[in-house]
Structure 1
Amino acid sequence: MNIAFDMSFTQSASDKRGIGEYTRNLIETITKLDNQNSYFYFYPSINQENTSIEGHLNYFLDKNSIDIFHITSPFEFIANSYPQIYRFNEIKVVVTLYDLIPLLYSNIYLTNETKENYMKTLNFIRSCELVFAISETTKNDAITYANIDPQKIVVIMGGISEKFRVKKNFKLNLLNNKYGITKPYILFSGGIEFRKNLRRFLEAFAKLPHLINRYQIVFFNHLNNFEILQINNLAAEYNIKENIVITGFLSIDELIDIYNSAELFAFPSLYEGFGLPVLEAMACGVPVLTSNNSSLKEIAGEAAYTVNPENVEEISTGLEILLTNQQLRKKLKSLGLQNVKKYNWESVGRRVINAFNQLEQITINKKFVTHKDSSINHIYIKEKKIYETVSDLIKLNNKDFLYALYKEILNREPDQYGFERHMYNLSKGISKITLLSKVLLSEEAKLLFSNTYFIQINNHTILSKIATMLSYNNKEFISASYEEFLNRKPSLSELELYNLKLTDENSKILLLVSIINSTEFKELMHR
């Protein structure tokens, strides 16, 4: 099967937060484990108009003959203001559902303007073939509050990267000097978002005057200037501003070191769909204080000190007990290290792959039952040749053509200058085939063609195919060029003629350009 992941989350703040971390780990694991299916990645541009993005999505799905489209963060899907199932025709759509927090706390998270699209997206999720829930809590919420069919929901949980581990040797002084950490510290994950419960946590810490001078509070999330100002202002209300350290976004190595040297990890969130930071802290041998609700109770079990997150006194008591009871910290450290063994990405990846394969089987069975006289080519679609891809490209409007052309050959979106220049040339009558030739002859394209990476990924783009063809010997290259661009084999005379002319990689690219500009190729484009 051809399975595609929507990468819209990379265009938002989620890229450097929980959803981004979760999705990257999931995709990396799936692609390592699965050598039966082919995987593709749809990267929309947030700067494009919705209609243009939809055009790119349709082109992407059609070109790569996608069987399953996995929307990794449905509320951030930007190929439309909200996704609509009918646009995908026979393609099976699955989604990852992290939580329903905006629905559960709608008075906090949803305005009159945003509620309509949120509810429409929920309707879309209900219509998908599969919903991957990241916890039993999320599954139960989806059934109870969103009326999603339980038969469609697969609980896949989450994993913890093997990088998160107890470290005995690391450069603590360098890290402390870099971020101004001068005392033992409590690690806190989360900014000013309502559910992270920052005010109650700071108030709880401020109730421990005998401990305030001994500990700092370290925030390690990616925070903007407004969030940093709000944290400092809130801390100042409780006269603990001097205790606050904000590192900003950390590299994975720095994050692991920060975890390892913490006295305690505090995560008294009001609600979580999974709560990955709890497992990260446990894997690094840090005792955890977290909430006795939602998925946090589910994943922490007996391996954390749990509190009612709405009770400041309870949070304060928990902090005091953990900071002063070394024996309890030692016990929780041991229990935490055992607990995290239950959460590994390989198990998560296999659950998802199994669900994909079962979905394929259901699709095949349905086709045999309801369409006995029709073939099942939707499942086994022949890969397109380059001339077919080019034919699809030139049928697009000018804007969509440029975006698709850059993706196909340069593996990126057009920069503003290049886009405006090419749009101007197209408006003045320059043909799309001429523009295609210019891009193929560009220095940027030549550098990419010589990069073996694009041979290895084999993602069926024009770039990947040409890079592969350039690695062939002369006669193999000529034969492949004719097959890909003219849909026929070269005659013996053509083979011998061009074999004499090919002296290096540049001459091979010139051959491709001459084929593209031939009458035969242009006639093929108009059939």
Structure 2
Amino acid sequence: MKIAFDAKRFFHNNSGLGNYSRDHVRILAEHFPENQFVLLEQKKSERGKAILNFKNVFFHQIKSGKFARQLKFGKTSQEINSDIFHGLSGELPLKWNKKPIKKIVTIHDLIFVRYPQFYSFFDRKIHFWKFKNACDQADLIIAISEQTKRDIIEFLKIPAEKIKVVYQGCHQTFKEKKSEEFLTETRLKFNLPEKFILNVGTIEPRKNLLNIVKTILGTKVNLVVIGKKTKYFNKIEQFILKNNLKNQVYFLENVSMEELSAIYQLADIFVYPSLFEGFGIPVIEALFSKTPVITSNSSSLPEAGGKNSLYVNPESVEDLRSKISFLWNNESERQRLSENGFEYVQKFTDEKIAANLMKVYLEVLEN
């Protein structure tokens, strides 16, 4: 079987859709070496370089030009005799020739429909049109959670039988126990406190960091934050300065993937009260790191966290404060959640995700 991928995100996105694309291709290449996986893009980058070392992964360069993804990727995948074209980030090409090929698209979330206030009018219209067009022409749609599947049915009016849920995993480094030496080096490098709660993700309104900061007011809880700053950061910074919390909140920058995984393992609690997620990879990263999780009781987050995470109303500072306080002062409960959460997260191993993906590919070919 030969599968062609739209590899724009694979090569050019550092996180999010880029990580999904790279992990997707990597685990398939590792577990199904008898197949060929072709990455279509106009130019390569250092990202994903290691994955191109697999003997069954190939880069096929598309000549540069305006709208190459829309006009050239599809036809090229047919010309090189691909059995399947897979759009990994909610899009499919617009132009195809008459040669048979199956089309699959992955839809990650429809947050722009649920929370339009976080997107410009133009972006909402473009996203909706691209996603709807891709879902209509796809032979099969992969949703990354049951929540996303429900949203595709509700908002894009796609029949349920056309959608398969295949969960995401996370980078291998989060599954590896770091040495005590590396943990100590990381703690010293970033001047981390002895005990802290952790939040990871873009610092934007939807991720709800301000509510976490509000919960530590009047406590001795230390908060470590890792994520790209947006304008929303200014609002958080003002609150920190106004309430003299500067010595309790640590914003880290230039953190490598290895260092990030070490910080997860050093953290006492991972806190992720996002208003809405298509899935919530940081929750999986924390569970693989054996760090107990507090996250939102809404969207897909209970799917990611399982029954051994604690859940809160993300808009209730009091609910969040009480859950953090409970775990912060209860080591035995942290240990219990750590062990049981690690057992639950084994459903997101590379082996299981690769098997589920291949099942989808074989099914679409048989139909």
**Counterpart among 131, 135, 143 of residue 122 in structure 1:** 131
Name 1:348's counterpart in structure 2.
353
**Counterpart among 247, 253, 272 of residue 248 in structure 1:** 253
**Counterpart among 217, 220, 243 of residue 223 in structure 2:** 217
Cα pair 2:166 2:356 within 8 Å, conserved = yes
Name 1:176's counterpart in structure 2.
187
Name 1:301's counterpart in structure 2.
306
Code of the residue aligned with 2:309 in structure 1: it is: A
Cα pair 1:30 1:349 within 8 Å, conserved = yes
Cα pair 1:166 1:283 within 8 Å, conserved = no
Distance in 2, Cα, partners of 1:137 & 1:225 = 26
Distance in 2, Cα, partners of 1:244 & 1:202 = 8
Distance in 2, Cα, partners of 1:101 & 1:21 = 19
Q: Per the alignment, in what secondary structure is the counterpart of residue 132 of structure 1?
A: strand
Code of the residue aligned with 1:169 in structure 2: it is: E
Q: 1:86: Cα distance to partner?
A: 4.8
Q: 1:150: Cα distance to partner?
A: 1.0
TM-score (norm 1): 0.61
Q: 1:225 to 1:290 in 2, by over 3 A?
A: closer
Name 1:154's counterpart in structure 2.
164
Q: Note if 1:235 corresponds to 2:235.
A: no
Q: Note if 1:64 corresponds to 2:80.
A: yes
Q: 1:286: Cα distance to partner?
A: 1.0
TM-score (norm 2): 0.85
Cα pair 1:216 1:244 within 8 Å, conserved = yes
Name 2:6's counterpart in structure 1.
6
Distance in 2, Cα, partners of 1:35 & 1:167 = 29
Root mean square deviation of aligned Cα: 2.6
Distance in 1, Cα, partners of 2:294 & 2:139 = 38
Q: Per the alignment, in what secondary structure is the counterpart of residue 16 of structure 1?
A: coil
Q: 1:205: Cα distance to partner?
A: 2.0
Cα-to-partner distance string for 1:442-501 (whole Å, 9 max, x where unaligned): xxxxxxxxxxxxxxxxxxxxxxxxxxxxxxxxxxxxxxxxxxxxxxxxxxxxxxxxxxxx
Distance in 2, Cα, partners of 1:324 & 1:216 = 13
Q: 1:153: Cα distance to partner?
A: 0.6
Distance in 2, Cα, partners of 1:342 & 1:54 = 35
Name 1:37's counterpart in structure 2.
35
Q: 1:27: Cα distance to partner?
A: 1.1
Name 2:117's counterpart in structure 1.
107
Distance in 2, Cα, partners of 1:93 & 1:116 = 23
Aligned residues with identical type, % of pairs: 28
Cα pair 1:165 1:285 within 8 Å, conserved = no
Cα-to-partner distance string for 1:329-385 (whole Å, 9 max, x where unaligned): 1211121111112221211111111221222222xxxxxxxxxxxxxxxxxxxxxxx
Q: What residue ranges of structure 2 are gaps of 5+ in the alignment?
A: 45-62
Code of the residue aligned with 2:134 in structure 1: it is: I
Q: 1:136: Cα distance to partner?
A: 1.3
Q: Note if 1:140 corresponds to 2:150.
A: yes
Counterparts in 2 of 1:411-430, with a 5 A limit? none
Code of the residue aligned with 1:26 in structure 2: it is: H
Structure exhibiting the larger radius of gyration computed from Cα positions: 1
Cα pair 2:197 2:222 within 8 Å, conserved = yes
Q: 1:268 to 1:302 in 2, by over 3 A?
A: same
Q: 1:232 to 1:45 in 2, by over 3 A?
A: farther
Code of the residue aligned with 2:188 in structure 1: it is: N
Q: Which structure: greater helix fraction?
A: 1
Q: 1:304: Cα distance to partner?
A: 0.9
Higher relative contact order structure (alpha carbons within 8 Å, sequence separation ≥ 6)? 2
Q: 1:16 to 1:249 in 2, by over 3 A?
A: farther
Distance in 2, Cα, partners of 1:53 & 1:299 = 32
Cα pair 2:75 2:95 within 8 Å, conserved = no
Cα pair 1:192 1:230 within 8 Å, conserved = no
Aligned residues: 346
Cα pair 1:2 1:64 within 8 Å, conserved = no
Distance in 2, Cα, partners of 1:280 & 1:185 = 17
Name 1:506's counterpart in structure 2.
none
Cα pair 1:200 1:312 within 8 Å, conserved = yes
Name 1:516's counterpart in structure 2.
none
Deviates more, 1:17-26 or 1:84-93: 84-93
Q: Note if 1:26 corresponds to 2:24.
A: yes
Distance in 2, Cα, partners of 1:96 & 1:248 = 31
Cα-to-partner distance string for 1:108-139 (whole Å, 9 max, x where unaligned): 22x22222212211221322111111111111
Q: What residue ranges of structure 1 are gaps of 5+ in the alignment?
A: 78-82, 363-527
**Counterpart among 270, 277, 281 of residue 272 in structure 1:** 277
Q: 1:260: Cα distance to partner?
A: 1.0
Q: 1:3: Cα distance to partner?
A: 0.9
Q: 1:178: Cα distance to partner?
A: 1.6
Code of the residue aligned with 1:2 in structure 2: it is: K
Q: 1:67 to 1:335 in 2, by over 3 A?
A: same
Name 1:283's counterpart in structure 2.
288
Distance in 1, Cα, partners of 2:337 & 2:10 = 35
Distance in 2, Cα, partners of 1:68 & 1:119 = 24
Cα pair 2:216 2:222 within 8 Å, conserved = no
Q: 1:246: Cα distance to partner?
A: 2.4
Name 1:80's counterpart in structure 2.
none
Q: 1:283 to 1:180 in 2, by over 3 A?
A: same
Deviates more, 1:158-167 or 1:304-313: 158-167
Distance in 1, Cα, partners of 2:68 & 2:305 = 45
Cα pair 1:179 1:245 within 8 Å, conserved = no
Cα-to-partner distance string for 1:384-436 (whole Å, 9 max, x where unaligned): xxxxxxxxxxxxxxxxxxxxxxxxxxxxxxxxxxxxxxxxxxxxxxxxxxxxx
Cα pair 1:2 1:67 within 8 Å, conserved = yes
Distance in 2, Cα, partners of 1:18 & 1:53 = 20
Distance in 2, Cα, partners of 1:123 & 1:19 = 18
Q: 1:267: Cα distance to partner?
A: 0.6
Q: 1:314 to 1:43 in 2, by over 3 A?
A: same
Q: 1:55 to 1:338 in 2, by over 3 A?
A: closer
Distance in 1, Cα, partners of 2:86 & 2:69 = 17
